[in-house]
Amino acid sequence: MDYEVIEDRLWDKSVKPKAVFNNYMEAKARKKELGDKYIVREKLVAESMTKQVAEVYCFQFKEAGGWANYTICESTGEFSIQSDWGDYSYRWNRYGLGDKALKEFLASCDAHYIVDKFSYKKPREFKAEFSLEATAKDIKSQILKERRSRDISQNRAKALWEFVKDEIEGSSDCEDVHFFYDRLSQDVDPHGEFGEYHTYSLLEFLGDDYMCHGPVYIPSHRYVFCLQTLVPFFLDFLKEELHERTSSKKETK
């Protein structure tokens, strides 16, 4: 059933609301998954086709272990890395490079520029990762701050502190931010051991906006390795290769 049909049926009183709602939600999920292709489904007809040749530099590493393949396609402006530490790629507009070869262009760039290009679609997901340790430390600091100002009772501060220590810091599941979010809504003292007889969660203590702004993110290991090791290694290799090529041309002349 097309999305437009479901949209029309929403206003048709002869259709049961629950059935419409279920179909509507399924259609919305499908539309989100496929994007614009959900509405426009056209058969692809090739107007032209060319084959391009790319250079692939394949490395095996001793010290760090693992492997990495660096691919450069001069004709299309594509540079990609497939490795034990993730896959990355970006395509530069070939006309924007002018007469400069892609290799020369890459050799003139710094690692920050190239890694930023790799992450331009989803920069936060690539550059940052949730830190359970830093987040728990931050929550504990807020508990102490509220207690010093006497905004929460001693019993409540103790309940919050023990919950963070046992159910968040002490849980490997909470290293996944989604499990951490679920844990925020749990009652910190379900048995009333500290004199609080109504439910009280960390989320209630921290505030609803904590879900958006509270958890602490740090530079991801993947991003740091790509920035400090994976890309700089190849840029140094490229510079050396281009230098040797230039030197050999001069000797030939």
| Angstrom distance (rounded) from CA 180 to CA 238 | 43
What pLDDT does 207 receive? Answer: 84
What pLDDT does 81 receive? Answer: 96
Helices vs. strands in the chain: H and E counts, helices first: 12, 6
Average per-residue pLDDT in the chain?
Answer: 81
What pLDDT does 22 receive? Answer: 59
Give this prediction's pTM: 0.66
Q: Which residues, given as ranges, of the chain have pLDDT below 50?
A: 1-3, 6-7, 10, 18, 20
| Angstrom distance (rounded) from CA 1 to CA 44 | 23
If DSSP codes are grouped into helix, strand and coil, which group holds residue 130? strand
User: What's the longest Cα–Cα distance across the chain?
Assistant: 90
What pLDDT does 59 receive? Answer: 95
What pLDDT does 2 receive? Answer: 46
- Give pLDDT tens digits for 79-100: 999 999 999 999 999 888 888 8
| Angstrom distance (rounded) from CA 91 to CA 95 | 12
What pLDDT does 57 receive? Answer: 96
What does 58-102 look like in DSSP terms, one character per residue? EEE-SSS-SEEEEEEETTTTEEEEEETTEEEEEE--GGGGTTS-H
- Give pLDDT tens digits for 226-253: 999 999 999 999 999 998 887 776 666 6
Q: Where do we find the tokens 């609803």?
A: 208
